[in-house]
């Protein structure tokens, strides 16, 4: 069955420090992986997606994600966090055998000044 | 450029009442999705559609019905609302290529009393 796991409910980091938000996935077909961000009382905004062949993917606002096939992970990273990065982050996977787009439970990122 | 528009933005229902949520997209997307967002549960897929005239069940379809009579519209119906359906509902659309991102509406906050 298709699934996404975000093991951390919340990640706290000081401004200027690197951040990582974790995501692991399970699919039966080829994985298509995405990260989205949600600010309060807003819809989800696309950040980046995995493209076959590029294990390090760069996206919006300085975010990047590292795809690891052997660990079935797609962790979101940023070298230097900003207070304005504080938001709810969702990992999602589309399985090309089912057409469904499945989301994780979300990780709240809190960046402290 | 409207993107994905949800109507209404807020609604309060009494238990047992019915209502329909409307999602409209102007990007000529084949795929459309309805999700509900609850604290600690992330986004859960209710129903989705891979084209005009098609619908399919997601992770939590019970108590909901959908219709996709026109390509640009995806309707979510609650025939007899229950307090457990109090949630924020999001609609999304995407193309039929699995590596393309989905675009989200701003959400509908529904309270069932």
Tokens of A59: 């996206």
pLDDT category at A100 given cuts 50, 70, 90 is: confident
Q: What is the pLDDT of residues B48-97, one digit of tens each?
A: 999 999 999 999 999 999 999 999 999 999 999 999 999 999 999 999 88
Q: Which of A4, A30, A43 to mutate to test the interface with B (most CBs of B within 10 A)?
A: A43
Counted across chains A and B, CB pairs separated by less than 8 A come out at 64
Strands (E), chain B: 4-7, 10-13, 19-25, 31-38, 42-49, 56-57, 65-67, 73-78, 87-94, 103-104, 108-112
Pair B48, B31: CB distance under 8 Å:
yes
Q: What is the pLDDT of residues A37-79, one digit of tens each?
A: 999 888 899 999 997 878 999 999 999 999 999 999 999 999 9
Mean pLDDT of chain A: 93
Q: What is the pLDDT of residues B6-30, one digit of tens each?
A: 999 999 999 999 999 999 999 999 9
Q: How far is CA A66 from CA A33, A56, B7, B28, B94, in A?
A: 11, 5, 37, 31, 24
A89/B contact by beta carbon, under 8 A: no
A14/B contact by beta carbon, under 8 A: no
């Amino acid at each position: 069955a298709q699934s996404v796991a975000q093991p951390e409910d919340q990640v706290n980091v000081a401004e200027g420090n690197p951040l990582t938000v974790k995501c692991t996935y399970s699919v039966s077909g080829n994985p298509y992986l995405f990260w989205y961000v949600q600010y309060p009382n807003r819809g989800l905004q696309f950040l980046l997606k995995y493209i076959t062949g590029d294990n390090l993917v760069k996206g919006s606002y300085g975010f990047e994600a590292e795809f690891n096939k052997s660990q079935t992970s797609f962790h979101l990273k940023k070298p230097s966090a900003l207070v304005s990065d504080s938001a709810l982050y969702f990992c999602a996977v589309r399985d090309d055998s089912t057409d469904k787009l499945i989301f994780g439970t979300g990780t709240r990122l809190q960046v402290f000044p | 450029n409207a993107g994905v528009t949800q109507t209404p933005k807020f609604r309060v229902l009494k238990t047992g009442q019915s209502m329909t949520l409307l999602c409209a997209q102007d990007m000529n997307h084949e795929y459309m999705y309805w999700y509900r967002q609850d604290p600690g549960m992330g986004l859960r897929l209710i129903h989705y559609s891979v084209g005009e005239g098609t619908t399919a069940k997601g992770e939590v379809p019970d108590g909901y019905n959908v219709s996709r009579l026109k390509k640009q519209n995806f309707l979510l119906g609650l025939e007899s609302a229950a307090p457990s359906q109090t949630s924020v509902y999001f609609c999304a659309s995407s193309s039929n290529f699995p590596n393309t991102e989905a675009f989200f509406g701003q959400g509908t906050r529904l309270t069932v009393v």
